[in-house]
Amino acid sequence: MVIVTGAAGFIGSCIVSKLNNEGIRNIVVSDDFRKREKERNLLGKLFYQEVPREDLHKWIEENANITDFIIHIGARTDTTEFNKEIFDRLNLHYTQRLWELCVRKNIPIIYASSAATYGLGEFGYDDEDESIIEKLKPLNPYGDSKNDFDKWALKQDKKPPYWVGLKFFNVYGPNEYHKGRMASVIFHAYNQVKQNGKVKLFRSHNPKYKDGGQLRDFIYVKDLCNVIYFLYKNRVSSGIYNLGTGQARTFEDLAKNTFKAMDVKENIEFIDTPADIRDKYQYFTEAKMEKLRRAGYVKPFHTLEQGVEDYVKNYLIKELYY
């Protein structure tokens, strides 16, 4: 039995699809199922049982003998939420309890960390030197909660038989319809073009970058699922790994490819970055990916052009789920 947490959410539901596509049906899906807007993400997917988020630890205690693996994606991910208690409860302490269960019951686990742990990138985006994790300065409580768990995990004397933490960079793709303002920039760009025929991007307030030249490592969710499946099937060295493409691209590139996929003339408008977030705005993120490549993952990632085209033409325009 494979447990997927956050299974009704964006990334979690795509992982369930990937497992189904690989012939895996013995899946326990866990989430906060009271959020009805996420129900469509699980329609048509094959799994053994739904277990509410608050009941999962007890379920594992009672069913450890049939639990082969945990893929822990569930988390509070709203970067505009500043109540630290919420993140401590749902991200840090919840994951600590899962970890301790995995130790006691000898269950391997993959869990989602985040590139938000890197903050403004003062120390680079290096997943090789674990000592850097102690120095990182995330920009919000969400990033803090992910970094706090990474630090805690590395300090533990007792660890699961196999564990991997994945620092997700900017993930985009199908099944994020419910995420509102936390959906990807591509999702919002598509809807802006559909409604107004143009895309609004933040103006650069850094002389090193032109307007629209801010850079992010955008990774298509299908690539992320492929990596997680690889790590599920292949016991690489336990530890924390980056998960991006290793190739930063500009927001202008993103917008232009959205217009192209929609067959609409380019029309980009630049607006000021809000003053209250200007000093914390990231102008560059790019995952170092050598560690994962050395671990044996050799499959190429979608380029931004390929990913946007597939997402827009096969999912957004058709209003389909993955």
Helices H, strands E: what count in the chain? 11, 13
Q: Which of 84, 105, 179, 200 is catalytic?
A: 179
> Three-state DSSP class for 262?
helix
Q: In angstroms, rounded to a whole number, what is the distance separating the alpha carbons of residues 138 and 280? A: 10
Q: In angstroms, rounded to a whole number, what is the distance separating the alpha carbons of residues 65 and 58? A: 13
> Is 18 an annotated catalytic residue?
no
Q: What torsion do the CA atoms of 65, 68, 71, 75 make, to the nearest 10 degrees? A: 0
The dihedral sign for the CA sequence 106, 132, 218, 171: positive
Q: Which of 111, 118, 125, 142 is catalytic?
A: 142
Q: Is the separation of the CB atoms in 97 and 56 below 8 Å?
A: no
If 0-12 CB within 10 Å is exposed, 13-18 middle and 19+ buried, where does residue 207 land?
exposed
* 308 closest CA partner among 230, 252, 229, 226: 252
Collect all residues with Cβ–Cβ distance below 8 Å to 183 and sequence separation of at least 6.
176, 177
Strand 239-243 with 199-202, pairing: unpaired
The dihedral sign for the CA sequence 135, 141, 147, 150: positive
Strand 218-220 with 268-271, pairing: unpaired
> Is 142 an annotated catalytic residue?
yes
Active site positions, annotated:
142, 179
